Chain A
Amino acid sequence: MSADAPPAPRVFFREAIARALAEEMAREPRLLLLGQDIGAFGGAYREFAGLHARFGAARVRDTPVAESAMVGVAIGAAAAGTRTLVSITYMDFLMLALDPLVNYGAKLRYKTGGQLRAPVVVKTTAGAKGQGVAHAQCLEAWLMGVPGLKVVAPSTPADAYGLLKSALREDGPVVFVDHKRLFPVAGPLPAHEHVTPFGRAQVVRDGRDVTIATHGYMTVVALDAARRLAHEGVSCEVVDLRCLAPLDVGTVAASAARTGALVTLEEGQPSCGVGAEVAFRVRDAVGTLRVARVGALPAPVSSNPVLEAACVPDASRVVETVRRLLDPARRAAPPSEES
């Protein structure tokens, strides 16, 4: 792009998804969409709005509430030569579809010696937002360790657009995880068509004292915490992982090597979580490193707003964790020369 290009128009998160889908459906006539209420209704978050009218009921198909069948059909259809996006409205219900996704979709190419592939995108919405124990979970860590499966989790409309377009061009299954609290967000989306490659984290705030590695909606929380910590003289570098499998360890490690401290932040459970994996691999790459994890408390997420807020991480918990991690070093360090 030229330097004098006009500023990117702002769009709602849902519009970035709808635009990516519309462009890819126009580009690839074999691409089908399956999901509950994605047809004339336009999707739970209106992220499918306009697609049914434009591309018709044969390509934008409403399904029954039957997640295992939905993903099974998507993988079968893909193996037979289509490309398919299947929408699992809430990530909690992806559990019902793990057998076709993990045992069939992720292994299809391997099991058939490359004769069959499953170009399927499972788009699903994670996160706590007042809907209670079984409509609130962030399960992406469960998926990161499945060979043959890729997992992406954007935090901005621009990345939702670019990563979804990349996902729809993959030859194997991809889980695209968005978040309930990202849908009210608006952000810039360049007018020109582009894709965001997998496996590349992004430094979304530069800093020198600590690296915060996170993904999805927690990127918004991390940036909020970083702004607060800046007021007390702590400089946070925030890395948005964007893609969880494959994981861009290099970008996080390069940042952590400079700052010497790493905080991982996720909305899901920290035990065997995204942060556990990131922390281990980054420390393996960097050597000496102070590390702390932030995640949900070990409890179901209540629909009670007070209990929900107590369970999932917020900026205050990130601030407190960073303070605790840095305090001993700051006491031991000579006075900073920087203002």
Chain B
Amino acid sequence: MIHRLQVPGPISDVEEVRVLQWHGEPGRAFAPDELIVEVETHKAVVELRAQQPCVLRAILCAEGDWARIGATLALASDDPDEPLPGAPDDAPPLAVAFEVT
């Protein structure tokens, strides 16, 4: 199944974030609790960690780009070769844990 990695929320006072750093290229497999991406709010760095095994497939928001709460940052899949959908926002969300540090 294809999943979309979205900007998590709600985060108090935050409407949009800036992508700080991706921790893997498309094709990399992530185990639960592994850090996928860090995003920056106006006062904190938020770590997004996989809560389910997945393969990062496509990064839709590059480092330095801005995204609103709920926006799609990337696509991930259960299996590495599943075809990607044409409309990324239709994919169900990927389960992630996030911590505002």
The reply to whether chain A is a binding partner of chain B is yes
Task: State the A residues within 8 Å of B (CB).
Answer: 10, 12-14, 45-46, 183-186
Residues of A within 8 A of B42 (CB): 12-14, 45-46, 183-186
Are B43 and A14 within 8 A (Cβ)? yes
- Residues on B with beta carbons closer than 8 Å to the beta carbon of A12: 18, 42
| Interchain CB contact under 8 A, B66 and A10 | yes
Main secondary structure of the interface of B (DSSP, over half): loop
Inter-chain contact A184/B15, CB cutoff 8 Å: yes
Select B66's contact among A14, A184, A186, beta carbons within 8 Å. Answer: A186
A183 to B13, CA, bound (A): 9
B40-53: contact bitstring with A at CB < 8 Å (1 yes, 0 no)?
01110000000000
- Among B1-35, those with CB < 8 Å from A are 13-16, 18
Whether A183 contacts B16 by the Cβ 8 Å rule is: no
Minimum distance in angstroms from B88 CB to a CB of chain A: 23
| Inter-chain contact B66/A46, CB cutoff 8 Å | no
Bound: A183/B12 CA distance, A = 13
What are 7 A-B pairs with beta-carbon distances under 8 A? A13-B42, A14-B43, A46-B42, A46-B43, A184-B14, A184-B41, A184-B42
| Residue of A12, A14, A46 with highest tally of chain B CB at under 10 A | A12
Q: With the chains together, A183 CA to B18 CA distance in Å?
A: 14
| Complex A-B, nearest 6 residue pairs according to Cβ-Cβ distance, in ascending order | A184-B42, A184-B13, A12-B42, A46-B43, A183-B42, A10-B66
> B residues within 8 Å of A by Cβ?
13-16, 18, 41-43, 66
State in angstroms the CA–CA spacing of A185 and B43 once bound together. Answer: 11
Closest Cβ neighbor of B17 among chain A residues: A186
Tell me the bound Cα distance from A291 to B14 in angstroms. 36
Give Cα distance in the complex from A183 to B14, angstroms: 10
- Which A residue sits closest to B13, measured CB to CB? A184
Shortest CB distance B27–A (Å): 30
Nearest-neighbour CB distance to chain B for A12, whole angstroms, equals: 5
Contact A183 B43 (CB under 8 A): yes
Contact residues in B for A13 (Cβ distance below 8 Å): 42
Q: How far is the CA of A183 from the CA of B66 in the complex (A)?
A: 16
- Contact present for A45 and B43 (CB under 8 Å): yes
Contacts of B43 in A (CB 8 A): 14, 45-46, 183
In the assembled complex, which residues on chain B have CB atoms less than 8 Å from the CB atom of A185? 42
Q: A14-B43, A186-B42 are in contact. List 14 more A-B contacts (CB 8 A).
A: A12-B18, A13-B42, A14-B42, A45-B43, A46-B42, A46-B43, A183-B43, A184-B13, A184-B14, A184-B15, A184-B41, A185-B42, A186-B18, A186-B66
Closest A residue by C-beta to B43: A46
From B11, which residue of chain A is reached at the shortest CB distance? A184
Q: How far is the CA of A156 from the CA of B53 in the complex (A)?
A: 42
A181 CA to B61 CA, complexed, in Å:
26
A13 and B43 alpha carbons, distance in the complex (Å)? 10
Nearest residue (CB) in A for B14 is A184
Find chain B residues with CB under 8 A from A10 CB: 18, 66
A186 CA to B43 CA in the complex, in Å?
12
Nearest Cβ on chain B to A16's Cβ, whole angstroms: 11
- Assembled-state Cα–Cα distance A13/B16 (Å): 13
A209 to B15 alpha-carbon distance, docked (Å): 32
A13, A14, A183, A186: residue with the most chain B Cβ atoms closer than 10 Å? A186
